Amino acid sequence: IKRFPPPRFQSLCRDLNSTVLVFVKGLFLYICFSYCVYFLLLRTVGGSNTVYEWSLSINHSEEEEPAKYPYQHIRQAEDVQQQIIRETFHLVSKRDDNVCNFLEGGSLIGGSDYKLIYRHYATLYFVFCVDSSESELGILDLIQVFVETLDKCFENVCELDLIFHMDKVHFILQEVVMGGMVLETNMNEIVGQVELQNRMEKSEGGFSAAPARAVSAVKNINLPEMPRNINIGDINIKVPSLSPF
Amino acid sequence: MALKIVKGSIDRMFDKNLQDLVRGIRNHKEDEAKYISTCIDEIKQELKQDNIAVKSNAVCKLTYLQMLGYDVSWAAFNIVEVMSSSKFTYKRIGYLAASQCFHESTDVIMLTTNQIRKDLSSPNQYDTGVALTGLSCFVTPDLARDLANDIMTLMSHTKPYIRKKAVLIMYKVFLKYPESLRPAFPRMKEKLEDPDPGVQSAAVNVICELARRNPKNYLSLAPLFFKLMTSSTNNWVLIKIIKLFGALTPLEPRLGKKLIEPLTNLIHSTSAMSLLYECVNTVIAVLISLSSGMPNHSASIQLCVQKLRILIEDSDQNLKYLGLLAMSKILKTHPKSVQSHKDLILQCLDDKDESIRLRALDLLYGMVSKKNLMEIVKKLMLHVDKAEGTTYRDELLTKIIDICSQSNYQYITNFEWYISILVELTRLEGTRHGHLIASQMLDVAIRVKAIRAFAVAQMATLLDNAHLLTGNTQHSGICEVLYAAAWICGEFSEHLEDPMATLEAMLRPKVATLPGHIQAVYVQNAAKLFSTVLCGQEGAPADSKVAQETSQLLIDRLPVFVQSDNLEVQERASCILQLVKYIQKLQQKDVEVAEEVTALFAGELNPVAPKAQKKVPVPEGLDLDAWINEPPSGSESEDEGRKTKGKAVFAREESRHTKPRYTEVDEKELAMRREVRKAEQANNPFYIKASPSSQKVYQEAVGVEHIPVVQIDLSVPLKVPGMPMSDQYVKLEEERREKNKADRKKKDKKKRREKGRQRRGDSGPESEEDITPAHMVDIVTEEMPENALPSDDDDKDPNDPHKALNIDLDKPLADSEKKLPVRTHRPDEVLKSPIEDAEGLEVTSEPKKKSGKEKDKERKKGKEKKKKKHKQEEGEDLMEAGSEEPVQSKVTNDVAAQPPASTPEASDLDFWLSNAPVPSDPQEAAAVTDAPPASTPDAASGVAAVVPDSEPEETKSSKHKKKKQKKEKDKKKKHHHHHHSDGAREESVQNGTVEDEEPLPPMSNYAMLAENSYIKMMKQDADEVCDIQGNLHDGSQVVVSVIFENKCDSFIKSMEFNVMDSLNSKLQRPEGAGPHDSLTVPFHLPPGISSEARFIFSVQSIVMPQKLKGTLTFIVKTEDSSTHEKLDFKLHFTCTSYLITTPCYSDAYAKLLESGDLKGSSLKLEGINQPFHHLLARICFHHHFSVVERIDSCASMYSRSIQGHHVCLLVKTADQTVSIDAKCDEPGLLRNVLDEIKLTFSQC
């Protein structure tokens, strides 16, 4: 197994300077961020139920302190979700590369039983939020597996793939983590299943989908941001030695 | 057709897709919100299109927008539409969107039940997979209850891909629907030994998650896990198991003993850090559980600490962090072995990583001793000065206080030092923890009597320099400290050197800018100081003038406070002002008042434990919930209740939030209220009044006279605020210790000479007991009420969802539990009957014409209703008598049989644990572990349970029969329900209402397909029942649902289903399979389990009924052998099965009949003596018709075939004759349907 992120993955667009955070167990966030535009995406693998429950509990705690929140309003799950992302991004982005990859959970992400475990690949962060029943080093390895899977499925993944194909990223993620529980840790198995499903999708599309594909291919030609091969150089990410699953 | 699709997609191909949307958002950085709102408008247009491709594209974009934080709940129904598409591509998008947007209060979720069920049983494994993944995100209690059975079936699917997903999702189902845990658990346990590693890992995952919350229910699985641990090579699984053992060992110390050896082996052998780390963690857990009376494990502790040290010293910050984390666990039980690594941990305090520093701080908490406390705190104080960022500094501050105050100030030898530390901490800018420091000051000053003089001196300095603290940052938390300072100075004013100066400081005008609750304390304590000052001054009669000046000072300064906007301050100030004025008058008359003034504040306050109030036992006969007076009006009392809720007895910071509520109340009313209150208090025998006698008792109890008075070292420069004094204490302390040591050494030497050289190893560092505290301090313990119960479990969270999963799993399943509880219908009133609906339509469309008829109808309806009611009651009684009783008796039978079965298993565990440590011999362990799982299925055997032999022969056979009958009845009922949930929604509406009207004999359209008598003789029988139904979506497809039920004791697997195709009907096989290949049934059947599989047939003509011959081959696997078996059956496709229940309104029905396209036919049935509504219900149920209109003994009915033929019936009854006139556009079909109806009625 490769210990370092695949070389092409490091060759990310410099001008965009964006950050992908991915967040598990209970929840899982996937966040894209760039300086000019905020692309904040959240995916709770524990289900939107999880965020919904949190928003309920937050609303509940606000009720008890009416002085602090004079205008009571029920906050949407979406609001809570955005707050989680912002807070997480804030926490993660200001950390140096040479500090540990764990962050203790704040009140927003489920309390003290939860930890943020993240990995930093060039301009991207993948963040998992896990509870105490998961092994910290195991999750670090799982992130590596996930990133390598992305690399295989997108054939040399770059950050733009993640931004423009959010749906595909989620389909891959669904093969790794399901409902907030780790489903599969064997990369070959994951890649195999994803490919079979993609093949099925292609066969269904068949003749009728061809023109639409052609159009989108034409559209993609004049994508302004295509310099995929800029090498940013080696970004050394510490990976604990862990035998493959 | 294909051309049309292509044309449609060309039209739509210039719609924005997801990529366009993302690109657009990136290109509109300035006006993103505007751009997105136009996009949402476009999406709304797209959602109105019929084309599913367009819809799914729109839903895909919505999913993205939801992730950006936009609310898309308005599109929930469109998401359901896309989910129900037959194409995988769209289905997948739909489920993704659903998992993203749906939550428990999304109401369309209840529409998805049938769709999800259909997808779960889809022949395409990825349809199933996608449905499972989606469901795992939005499963609700309703969905969990309705789908638990289907998911359980999937747990024994042939494809490991589905199996592992089904296993994993069961955890979510358990959480939402805890009743399913017991029935599903045996199968979950089986999956631990699944041949596929993915499934196995999923099962381990689920069980570990369950066991983590309620470990004691899973102890019996320990042998099985032990076996897995010694045999598995999958690190992920190993980590999970080892973590699980960590949770189990505290409950069963013997397990820990057994684990230590294999774990130590793993620690030595593994190269994976993650595994090593988890092993160390579990060994620590084991050691903790063994900590009492197991001295010979010091080697293991040593090994752990040693490994952890390696981790901490590693350059990898992650390992360092985890090492510290694990170290803190050892610390709790074996502090000594950690303390030797103090150097390392102090080094970590300098780490650049904040997480690591915080961890190291945690460790320090446990590492302090009397000896090193000062040193460690000194180091921390240095860090406080250096720390950047308030959060870390605040963390340091709380840690310092935690460390010092832990276990009742156990490690503090010099409280003067501690007070000076606290004073130093007040210099921190912008800390949030002012109240924490304040409460420490109060606590120490109240409880450590010897320190009061010193504390008061320090506090006086603080008060004098209050402006330094408040500065310009009034709202920072640090001014809370003044609260404590003022109170301490006032309460213990007898220790003050210069009370007059302090009084002066407390009455400075600047005080009025402090928060209200602090001002209130200032005012109150100024009065206390005043009394002290008076005492001092009146001693010398010459100073009476000075005393009057003091009064004048108060009179001058207090008005500022009287004008305060804080009610508390206002009241106290005006009260005291009047008092002082009165005193001044007396003073002018040369009356000695000092003694009386001090009497105002006589008596000592005692510390009370924080929970004391809660723990006062309720006296017998007192009901706190009963109203004393009826509450006046709802709103007011509620308001009051909320305000007072959650306030502590000694409210300190709470008062900050409460705004004065009655500021507008004028003085008069205030005075009046005061009067009333006073009167009330005077009459109230329970209102505590200060009485001298009670104080005496008090003082005796505490024993004041035994407290040694301490000399204050006045050489310490008290007057310089803000100078770090604590360092001097450290030095002083060191000197003192040195001296003590020297003294002791001398003594020791003498002793040693006397004793010879018996004790040698004692010369190490001085032990704890050697350090004597500088002051003999009597720490007053907090008071608790008498009879208080020492219970501390009020901290548990009652809302934990995992509490519901605390279910005993070792008890063998009772028969009634063997299958998942059958889904019950939702209350029917939600569903409207189409009959009424239709009527409603009529009424609105032609209200005038039909008014006469309507009245008629209503009258009839009224009658019917009466009838209905009556019959319903009757029916319910019957049902109860008929069904519930036997079930109950059966259950009790089973219960009686249980106890013997459960005991052997428990003893197995005992045996396994008490075994001499045999971890080196995994095979033996394996042999032992095999026993419990094997015994369970026997003990709780399948549906065809063998009647116990001990019973007499005759009763045996009769009972057996009875039981069987009941079971069949039960089964039928179940199938009946099943059908409801299966069918399209309209159908269940229809049948639901019919059923609601009358009690019907149980009906089922599941017919027995085949039964193999040969196998039955061998007591290994399997039977099949089947239901044939048209597929709503596709005109040429028929779905056949077959229930396979295993009645024997053995496992049935590799079932293959094959049907000989005819020209007309073909079994749909997966692509690439030949026309004679058989289909694999996608599950295995453990004993006693039934599952449903669906097969799709394509049909050309539906005019004729057909019979297809088929065979089912399967392997019966017993413990020692497996036999290949075969079962032939005939599938009967009746014409009825091509009909789909379709509701029809009477006006449309009338038009249809008028059109003249239909050809007629009729049928007469003689000798039918069942009620008319039964008859209708039968036709509805068995032949998929729906009632259009019913008038007395005449009803019109309608149905539609899958190929769109209309079938209309007019049913009339007179005496015992039923005549049916039928019309249909396909005479062949009609003839056959009528024949089938005839057959139905001839059978009953």
Instruction: List pLDDT tens digits, range B729-773.
Output: 666 766 766 666 666 666 655 555 554 444 444 443 444 444 555
Confirm if A216 and B198 have CB atoms less than 8 A apart.
no
B169 touches chain A (CB under 8 A): yes
What is the DSSP-derived secondary structure letter of residue B169?
A: H
Across chain B, mean pLDDT equals: 70
Residue B155 has a CB neighbour count (10 Å cut-off) of 26
pTM: 0.54
B13/A211 touch (CB, cutoff 8 Å), yes or no = yes
A177-178 and A181-182 beta bridge pairing? antiparallel
B700 Cβ neighbours under 8 A, 6+ residues apart:
none
- Which runs of E-coded beta strand occur in B1137-1193? 1139-1140, 1159-1165, 1186-1191
Which of the two residues, B1074 and B582, has the higher pLDDT score? B582
Q: How would residue A14 be classed by pLDDT, with cut points 50, 70 and 90?
A: very low
Q: Identify the pLDDT of residue A106.
A: 63
Average pLDDT over residues B654-660: 39
Query: Mutate which of A100, A182, A196, A242 to test chain B, going by most B C-beta atoms within 10 A?
Result: A100
pLDDT reading at B689 higher than 50: no
Residue B278 has pLDDT above 60, yes or no: yes
Judged by CB atoms closer than 8 Å, whether chains meet at A211 and B137 is answered as no
User: Using the beta-carbon criterion (under 8 Å), do B9 and A104 form an inter-chain contact?
Assistant: no
Contact B271 A78 (CB under 8 A): no
Cα gap B1019→B1087, rounded to integer Å: 12
Q: Which amino acid is at B233?
A: T
Residue B1106: enclosing H or E segment and its boundaries? strand B1106-1117
Q: What is the DSSP letter of B1204?
A: -
E strand segments, B567-612: none
pLDDT higher than 80, residue B421? yes
User: What is the CB neighbour count within 10 angstroms for residue B38?
Assistant: 12
First CA to last CA distance, chain A: 10
Q: State how far the Cα of A184 lies from the Cα of A168, in Å rounded to an integer.
A: 17
Q: What is the mean pLDDT of residues B462-479?
A: 68
Instruction: Give the alpha-carbon dihedral of A155, A158, A164, A168, to 10 degrees.
Output: 40
What does the pLDDT look like over B595-654, one tens digit per residue?
Answer: 788 888 877 777 777 777 777 777 787 877 888 787 776 554 444 444 444 333 333 443
How many percent of chain B have pLDDT more than 70? 64
Task: Determine the Cα–Cα distance for residues A60 and A52; give it in Å rounded to an integer.
Answer: 12
Res B1015 pLDDT > 80 = no
Asked if A166 lies within 8 A of B352 by C-beta distance, the reply is no
d(CA B521, CA B479): 13
- Distance from the Cα of B129 to chain A's closest Cα (Å) equals 9
- Give the tokens for residue B864: 């019917």
For residue range B246-270, list pLDDT tens digits in order: 888 888 878 888 888 888 888 888 8
Tally A–B CB contacts below 8 A.
230
Rounded Cα–Cα distance for residues B749 and B747 (Å): 5
Beta bridge partners of B562: none
Measured distance CA(B1201)–CA(B1215) in Å, rounded: 32
pLDDT in the model for residue B764: 39
φ and ψ at B549, to 5 degrees?
Answer: -65, -40
Searching chain A, which residue's CA lies closest to the CA of residue B321? A100
Answer yes or no: do B19 and A219 touch at CB < 8 A.
yes
Q: Rounded CA gap, B652 and B517, in Å?
A: 7
Whether pLDDT at B105 is above 50: yes
For residue A159, which of A195, A123, A204 has the smallest C-alpha distance?
A123
Alpha-carbon span B838 to A32, nearest angstrom: 53
Give helix B1227-1243 / helix B1172-1183 axis angle, nearest 10°.
Answer: 120
- Give mean pLDDT, residues B444-452: 84
User: Nearest Cα to A226, choosing from A159, A149, A131, A174?
Assistant: A159
Q: Which distant-in-sequence residues (6+ apart) come within 8 Å of A162 by Cβ?
A: A20, A32, A124, A150, A169
Instruction: Report which of A102, A92, A110, A88 is spatially closest to residue A27, judged by C-alpha positions.
Output: A110
CA angle B81, B86, B88 (to 5 degrees): 100
Residue A245 has its nearest CB partner, among B17, B168, B234, at B234
Residue B1106's pLDDT band, with cuts at 50, 70 and 90, is confident
In angstroms, the CA A39 to CA A43 distance is 13
Q: Return the amino acid letter for B1243.
A: Q
Amino acid at B245: F
pLDDT of residue B884: 40
Structural contact between residues A241 and B271, judged by C-beta atoms closer than 8 angstroms: yes
User: Please, which residues have CB within 8 angstroms of residue B1143's CB and are 6 or more apart in sequence?
Assistant: B834, B986, B989, B990, B1186, B1198
Task: Pinpoint the alpha helices (H) of B785-884.
Answer: 834-845, 851-879
Confidence of residue B468 (pLDDT cuts 50, 70, 90): low
Which region among A53-57, B314-318, B458-462, B832-836 has the lowest average model confidence (pLDDT)?
B832-836
Cα distance between residue B1244 and residue B1170, in whole Å: 10
The residue ranking higher by pLDDT, B798 or B233, is B233
Q: Do A100 and B67 count as a contact with CB atoms less than 8 A apart?
A: no
Task: Report the candidate in B1235, B1204, B977 with the shortest Cα–Cα distance to residue B1105.
Answer: B1235
- Predicted confidence band of residue B345 (pLDDT cuts 50, 70, 90): confident
pLDDT digits (tens, 9 = 90+) for A118-162: 887 766 778 887 777 788 888 888 888 888 888 888 877 777 777
Beta strands B1037-1046 and B1065-1067, pairing class: unpaired
Residue with tokens 């949030």: B432
Token pair listed for A118: 């993240």
3-state secondary structure of B1019: coil
Could you tell me if A9 and A158 are in contact, meaning their C-beta atoms sit under 8 angstroms apart? yes
Chain A, nearest residue to B161 by Cα = A193
Contacts with A, B 174-203, CB within 8 Å? 197-198, 201-202
Whether residue B1121 has pLDDT greater than 50: yes
CA atoms within 13 A on the CB side of B985: 9
- Report the amino acid identity of residue B302: Q
Q: Taking residues B951-965, what's their average pLDDT?
A: 43
DSSP-derived pairing of the beta strands A27-33 and A19-22: antiparallel
Q: Which of A135, A136, A170 to mutate to test the interface with B (most CBs of B within 10 A)?
A: A135
Contact B503, B550 (CB under 8 A): yes
CB distance B1031 to B1202 below 8 Å? yes
B23 touches chain A (CB under 8 A): yes
The one-character DSSP state at B884 is I
> If we measure between CA atoms, which residue out of B775, B713, B773 comes closest to residue B457?
B713
Q: Which residue of A has its CA nearest to B172?
A: A179
| B125 or A2, which is more confident | B125
Q: In Å, how far is A227's CA from the nearest CA of chain B?
A: 16
- Chain-centroid distance of CA B399 in Å reads 31
In the predicted structure, residue A23 carries a pLDDT above the cut 60:
no
- Complete edge-to-edge strand list for the sheet that includes strand B1051-1059: B1079-1080, B1051-1059, B1106-1117, B1122-1133
Of residues B541 and B458, more confidence is placed in B458
Rg (CA), chain A: 19
Output the CA–CA distances (angstroms, integers) from residue A108 to A23, A55, A190, B125, B744, in the order listed: 13, 9, 31, 38, 56
Task: Give me the phi and psi of B56, to 5 degrees please.
Answer: -70, -35
Q: How far is CA B1054 from the centre of its chain?
A: 39
